[in-house]
Structure 1
Amino acid sequence: MKKFLLTLAVAAISQGLSAQEITLDKIYSGYYRGKGIAGIASMKNGENYLVIEQGGIAKYAYKTSQKEGNIVDGRFESYEFSDDESKIMLLKESQPIYRHSFLGKFHIKDLKSGKVISLNEGKFVQEPRFSPDGTKVAFIADNNLFYQNLDSGKITQITNDGKKNAVLNGLADWVYEEEFGHARLYDWTKNSNALVFVRSEESEVPEIYIPIYGKMLYPGEMRYKYPKAGEKNSVVSAHIYLLDSNNKTRINLDRFKKYYIPNVIQTAKADEIVLITSERIQNASDVLKVNTKTGDVKKLFTETDDKWVDTDNVTLEFMDDNSFLWSSERDGNRHLYWYNQDGKLKKQVTKGSWEVTDYYGFNPKSKEIYVQTTEKGSINKVISKINIENGKAQLISNGDGNNAANFSKNYNYFIETSSTASKPYTFVLKDGNGKVVKELQNNNDQLQKLKADNFIDKEFITIPNEAGDQMNAWIMKPKNFDKNKKYPLFMFQYSGPGSQQVSNSWDNGNALWFNHLVQKGYIVACVDGRGTGYKGTKFKKVTYMNLGKYEIEDQIAAAKWLGNQSYIDKSRIGMFGWSFGGYMTSLAMTKGADVFKAGIAVAPVTNWRYYDSVYTERFLRTPQENPDGYDKNSPTEYASLLKGKFLLIHGTADDNVHFQNSMEFSEALIQNKKQFEFMAYPDKNHGIYGGQTRPQLYQKMTDFILENL
């Protein structure tokens, strides 16, 4: 269950927007909408960058930041170059499937000849990818893998056994996509002579079905394979397809961990692919190098952990000499390690009581890597360049806030995207040493509108828990705050493993709603307790085998600490959360019933037995191995303890956290004669949006808070 960001829907600007107050009407009208720059990417020469504009894919010069025209004209959702930039693949139309996957119609334009070719004859495909030599594009259609020759237009079908809810070739199934974070499970070799792909046999995986109501006389139905904790997963295998011989062979992985194959990665060598594999318990991952000419497999090394390896957050980057960088938490923080091409450790590249949170690239001329880190504090993310040989580091971004970068191919420039909790996004062009060249875009107008309506900044503090940790927190107080007055407290959290809600970054989503509540006289606070990320593995992984136990203890401890502050009315403390946060709110209103007066749980997991195998077993093992870890932290086990006012919300078509969770919890509450409010959103998924859904949802939650807290 990946961190779920609650983005706000927008519509046309409404008339008569009230002044001096952040209202729900203003939030959902788009009145506070910010500006961004879409599709930033460097060209190969390192001197130009591209962005998606309304009229096409625009080309700009780094040195002058001036526009030099369009590469192509028209409206596109995304684009991708071939390695030599002679061709560009353009997404013209898309249809979402799950969180990452979508069906798309793609055109490929030859930028030299001007010739345009439709991929797969203009029909929908998934996960297209240029061959490194730019002469072909591989893609998936109907769960089968194909490639198309861009000169002749000829389409070659590589697999034939793909079938919905049965077999996938080169494509992740639902749980792989959701928990390993990507839908593509194939890659080209560097010489474009072979494709390596994962085949997933999911016919034995239990099937979930979801009623679809719509306006039909009889409800429709959505069916897909969903392996719940302890149940059967897809049986996966890896295969090599050689283009010259049209020959497919299965890669023999019998000597290695092979229950999951979440990653297929191209190396810098002509006839190689790396597979990352693991057993079901996910506490060890094999990094395997496959020779695609011979089929031979060599284990480079095994990454191990006494709890779990973050198989959904892998950095594996190859350099020109085929040495590579690998991310690991083995020293207690996420850092980068440098290996030679045979898997022998050369050195640990980064080190300290901070973490590497993103990797941007390696400059072979300066021997420097470019990374995003938490070295300026766990609530901040900054950008540094680090010499891979001598360890010399230089900060090249702002020193606080949340900073990300798009680098030029020669690393002479980068576009920094920055924000803080009090300043919305800016886009600044900088040189390779972090010197400002030009501000490209700011959101001063957005901030001025918010300040005119009495926008409240977050105040960052720390709160102790019973284990002696200082937990990161933020708090928002009314503008006319009086320390001698007692205020009701509304707490928000997510709390899932490795997540972060207390971040010095701009929030275009719930922060606006929280401002609305603060203006109604509430204090709003958020606390990242044990299990959350960016404070080292000890803090993050203490929840292993007991998911939910320490997290709710910390939220209760934080509520009590806040309730003891002179300005908080401890008899009026409420909580809100979505997904994992909804699970925590459900526990707060039962296990923490003496502390919390009111709670809103949206799309909550209410029993980890109902959630998917990859995520849940990573932290709890299977229900067969660890039944107490599942049952003793389930809100349904504590339904008899509910005391306060409780609002339970769920979308009926939630493919991630199934509606079943809220039905099960509702039944437990009913059988314990507990009164509560329930809202079901017809045919809405985990995000609960579309049309007027979000405005209605947030009005309902606001009314509930005003009436009950």
Structure 2
Amino acid sequence: MKKLLIFFVGFATLVQAQKKDISLEDIWKKGTFRADYMNSLNSMNGDFYSLLNYYEGGSTVDKYSYETLEKVATIVDSKDLNGIQYIESYSFNNDETKLILGTNFKPIFRHSFLGTFYVYDIATKTLSLIGEDIQEPTFSPDSKKIAYAKQNNLYIKDFSNDETVFQITNSGKKNEIINGITDWVYEEEFGFVKAFEWSTDSKNLAYLRFDESKVKTFSMDVYGKGKYPTQEVFKYPKAGEDNAKVTLHIFSLVTNKTAEIMVGEYEYIPRINWTKNADLLAVRTLNRHQNDLKLYFVSASTFDSTLILNETDKAYVDVNDDLTFLEDNSFIWTSEKDGFNHIYHYDKSGKLINQVTKGNWEVTSYYGYNAAKKTIYYQSVENGSINRGVYSISLTGGNKKLLSNTTGTNNAAFSKNLNYFINTFSDVNTPPVYTLRNSDGKVLKTIKDNAALKETIAGYNLSKKEFSIISINGNDLNMYMIKPSNFDATKKYPVLMHQYSGPGSQQVANRWNGANDYWHQMLAQDGYIIVCVDGRGTGFKGRDFKKVTYMNLVKYETEDQIAVAKELAQLPYVDAKRIGIWGWSFGGHMSTNCILKGNDVFAAAIAVAPVTTWRFYDTIYTERYMRTPEENPTGYDDNSPLNYPELLQGNYLLVHGTGDDNVHVQNSYRMIEALVQANKQFEWAMYPDKNHGIYGGNTRLHLYTKMTNFIKNNL
């Protein structure tokens, strides 16, 4: 009996030994843990969708049936197109008889790019050039015209009139005037590039004009491979500085005249949308503090504007894309006004009809409204703030139904007619599973289940991610912990904390692994405990929890992370002298603050691309949470690590890309100078010409090798 026991113990040890350890090359070079994803699908009319598929030497746009998921047609194949090897983007006109095809893309900023675009007629299989180095070509609803931007001006190409091109603005000039395309700060913080919209009758084109002549420029040296560096110069309004002056205009294709539209006092116009009434344009404006949001209806015939809705908040009001107009021009709107983000229904005059969803939980995505069924589809955290579920509910707020898995993270991609949706499910133990479901949530077919990845993962030495709640500074905070797979509670382990902490963000979520999760698992293999806590200011736990950090960004967030570290230090299996923290961007600001203000508990910190003073960051993001430096100087300075570098006692690694157009390398250079003048030793790394993501070639592998070595040497 004793021999048999010894055999089984030995066998278990052998099985454990056969499990492989994760390497940096697995994560950043080999793609060992890459999940199988669905291509981004485009919902079509009826029960169909399309996909852009690639093959060696070419690409196709293919049509599929939602009912069977089978391909029913190839709409266009690049091998049949003269001058296009690979289709990089496509979009349909309303009746899906034509396509705009894009190729030769040249990136500008995070979302914007130039490209060469064509119109493809599906019936005749003919290709017609729209233009080269243009932006955002868009069909008119009647499919007879295409509007696009080029060199900061707007153009319309009329395919019903010998492809005549009309230039409707002439004022465009680099770093001065932009017509129909957003400036840097709108693109980054309001999340859109195309600042023009066709009316539903194709008779009017509404657009925004940005006069950024008074906005100060930021310049970046681009080192490249040449003998001399070049310079990238662009307008970037930093906190407290001048924004572009934004004005609203409507160009009439009937009169060929442009009118400037007045919509009260405002600083920003973050959205324009035409309503179901072809004469009415919906315009949202914000004051500079972003706590006074107004919705106007503007008449395209009289140019009169009517205030429909006014939403205010003591802190700020978020802007989203949930506004949906019903046939009677009543509309659906989401708001945090009852303390949690919920769905509301208003009539066409702005009078509240009813609050559709209610409860101490958040609606996290609005998917659409099925008029035939009078049903709204949405995603929420009703089953816990770390989970996401897909639901349906009637317009009156009844008949609520869960359409997806109860726990984990569920995302829906609905068909245009809302009869079907593809549900993407994952949780901490399950890589993405794609299922086709009908609008009642019934699973019709499993499309992808990532079984191969699960089999790969099973061969590696991974630890369990354990979710829990930790009580800190009077709040119950979501936390996860990853312990070494051979964890022994009688031993003491170093701890590495990870966080982002930005307003409304979330890191502790019941979803499948990202790249950083595998890196954390690799560190756990080497004997580190990984901890992540979402402190005050993060999202999906209500307005008050998120907005408590207003006027004092990183103050309460830093206090929470320091308090967490002190709680962890009390655990019998934690080495209190070896607790570190790391983060990127906002998280880099946080990790820098923590190693300084928490120098009695943190032994090491890594900051990647950090903000080091909000005075250096852009107007829209920063002032939303802080107001201007002139109004709130202590909020800006009391929590800027530039002002207390002498507090550094532990080991600190600072990393930045010199081509970061978002969080400028200026932040790190000033932090470096502050530490040097305080005579503090630290490590730092600069990645030439790399942007905020610090990637390309071996860059990520090099970066994570450096961070791994730093942790092993200092924690």
With the shorter chain as reference, the TM-score category is over 0.9
Counterpart in the other structure of 2:282: 274
Counterpart in the other structure of 2:12: none
Q: 2:618 aligns with which of 612, 628, 635?
A: 612
Counterpart in the other structure of 1:10: none
**CA offsets, 1:580-600, max 9 Å, x none?**
000001001100111110110
Asked if 2 retains the 8 angstrom alpha-carbon contact of 1:277 and 1:286, the reply is yes
Runs of at least 5 residues in structure 1 that lack an aligned partner in the other structure:
1-17
Letter in 1 for 2:248: A
Cα shift at 1:409: 2.6
Q: 2:506 aligns with which of 497, 500, 510?
A: 500
Counterpart in the other structure of 2:369: 362
Q: C-alpha separation between the residues in 1 aligned to 2:354 and 2:552?
A: 35
Greater alpha carbon shift after TM alignment, 415-424 vs 62-71? 62-71
- For residues 172-251 of structure 1, the aligned pairs below 5 Å read 172-251=182-261
Cα shift at 1:218: 2.1
Cα shift at 1:393: 0.5
CA, structure 1 residues 507+79, in 2 after alignment: closer, same or farther (shift >3 Å)? Answer: farther
Q: C-alpha separation between the residues in 2 aligned to 1:150 and 1:522?
A: 64
Q: C-alpha separation between the residues in 1 aligned to 2:692 and 2:176?
A: 25
- For residues 190-589 of structure 1, the aligned pairs below 5 Å read 190-253=200-263, 256-311=264-319, 313-466=320-473, 468-589=474-595
Asked if 2 retains the 8 angstrom alpha-carbon contact of 1:430 and 1:438, the reply is yes
Counterpart in the other structure of 1:96: 107
**CA offsets, 1:483-520, max 9 Å, x none?**
11111100110000111111111233211111111111
**CA offsets, 1:591-618, max 9 Å, x none?**
0111110110000000110111111111
Letter in 1 for 2:598: G
Letter in 2 for 1:30: G
Counterpart in the other structure of 2:139: 130
Q: C-alpha separation between the residues in 2 aligned to 1:199 and 1:232?
A: 16
**3-state DSSP of counterpart to 1:27:** helix
Letter in 2 for 1:277: T
Asked if 2 retains the 8 angstrom alpha-carbon contact of 1:108 and 1:116, the reply is yes
Cα shift at 1:186: 1.4
Q: C-alpha separation between the residues in 2 aligned to 1:214 and 1:118?
A: 33
TM-score normalised according to structure 1 size: 0.95
Counterpart in the other structure of 1:4: none
Cα shift at 1:142: 0.5
Letter in 1 for 2:139: F
Counterpart in the other structure of 1:80: 91
Asked if 1 retains the 8 angstrom alpha-carbon contact of 2:200 and 2:274, the reply is yes
Runs of at least 5 residues in structure 2 that lack an aligned partner in the other structure:
1-17, 79-85
Greater alpha carbon shift after TM alignment, 336-345 vs 648-657? 336-345
Cα shift at 1:390: 4.5
Q: C-alpha separation between the residues in 2 aligned to 1:501 and 1:104?
A: 35
CA, structure 1 residues 454+180, in 2 after alignment: closer, same or farther (shift >3 Å)? Answer: same
Q: C-alpha separation between the residues in 1 aligned to 2:405 and 2:398?
A: 21
**3-state DSSP of counterpart to 2:133:** coil
Asked if 2 retains the 8 angstrom alpha-carbon contact of 1:190 and 1:272, the reply is no
Cα shift at 1:19: 6.3
RMSD: 1.3
Counterpart in the other structure of 1:66: 70
Counterpart in the other structure of 1:6: none
Asked if 2 retains the 8 angstrom alpha-carbon contact of 1:417 and 1:426, the reply is yes
Letter in 2 for 1:305: D
Counterpart in the other structure of 1:626: 632
Q: C-alpha separation between the residues in 2 aligned to 1:334 and 1:362?
A: 18
Counterpart in the other structure of 1:3: none
Counterpart in the other structure of 1:21: 21
**3-state DSSP of counterpart to 2:686:** strand
**CA offsets, 1:457-494, max 9 Å, x none?**
3111111111x111111111111111111111001100
**CA offsets, 1:31-72, max 9 Å, x none?**
222211112122211x22222222412222222222213122
Q: C-alpha separation between the residues in 2 aligned to 1:475 and 1:390?
A: 38
**CA offsets, 1:614-642, max 9 Å, x none?**
11111110000000000001011121100
Greater alpha carbon shift after TM alignment, 396-405 vs 490-499? 396-405
Asked if 2 retains the 8 angstrom alpha-carbon contact of 1:229 and 1:612, the reply is yes
Asked if 2 retains the 8 angstrom alpha-carbon contact of 1:212 and 1:222, the reply is yes
Q: C-alpha separation between the residues in 1 aligned to 2:163 and 2:406?
A: 51
Q: C-alpha separation between the residues in 2 aligned to 1:205 and 1:64?
A: 54
Asked if 1 retains the 8 angstrom alpha-carbon contact of 2:577 and 2:601, the reply is yes
Q: C-alpha separation between the residues in 2 aligned to 1:43 and 1:205?
A: 42
Q: C-alpha separation between the residues in 2 aligned to 1:417 and 1:50?
A: 18
Asked if 2 retains the 8 angstrom alpha-carbon contact of 1:41 and 1:406, the reply is no
Q: C-alpha separation between the residues in 2 aligned to 1:707 and 1:638?
A: 25
Letter in 1 for 2:296: L
Which of the two has higher C-alpha Rg? 2
**3-state DSSP of counterpart to 2:644:** helix
Asked if 2 retains the 8 angstrom alpha-carbon contact of 1:49 and 1:60, the reply is yes
Asked if 1 retains the 8 angstrom alpha-carbon contact of 2:20 and 2:460, the reply is yes
Counterpart in the other structure of 1:35: 36
Asked if 2 retains the 8 angstrom alpha-carbon contact of 1:37 and 1:51, the reply is no
Letter in 1 for 2:379: Q
Q: C-alpha separation between the residues in 2 aligned to 1:584 and 1:489?
A: 17
Counterpart in the other structure of 2:130: 119
Cα shift at 1:248: 0.4
Letter in 2 for 1:249: A
Counterpart in the other structure of 1:682: 688
**3-state DSSP of counterpart to 1:361:** strand
Cα shift at 1:534: 0.4
Cα shift at 1:314: 4.3
Greater alpha carbon shift after TM alignment, 517-526 vs 79-88? 79-88
Higher relative contact order (CA 8 A, sep 6+): 1
- For residues 631-642 of structure 1, the aligned pairs below 5 Å read 631-642=637-648
Q: Count how many residue pairs are aligned between Structure 1 and Structure 2.
A: 685
Q: C-alpha separation between the residues in 2 aligned to 1:136 and 1:403?
A: 39
Letter in 2 for 1:429: L
Identity of aligned residues (%): 48
Letter in 2 for 1:26: D
Q: 1:146 aligns with which of 141, 152, 155?
A: 155
Asked if 1 retains the 8 angstrom alpha-carbon contact of 2:357 and 2:397, the reply is no
Q: C-alpha separation between the residues in 2 aligned to 1:223 and 1:586?
A: 29
Asked if 2 retains the 8 angstrom alpha-carbon contact of 1:530 and 1:551, the reply is yes
CA, structure 1 residues 141+208, in 2 after alignment: closer, same or farther (shift >3 Å)? Answer: same
**CA offsets, 1:139-198, max 9 Å, x none?**
111111111123432221110111110001111111111111111111111111001111
Q: C-alpha separation between the residues in 1 aligned to 2:137 and 2:377?
A: 28
**3-state DSSP of counterpart to 1:39:** coil
**3-state DSSP of counterpart to 1:176:** helix
Counterpart in the other structure of 2:4: none
Cα shift at 1:92: 2.1
Cα shift at 1:93: 2.7
Cα shift at 1:298: 0.7
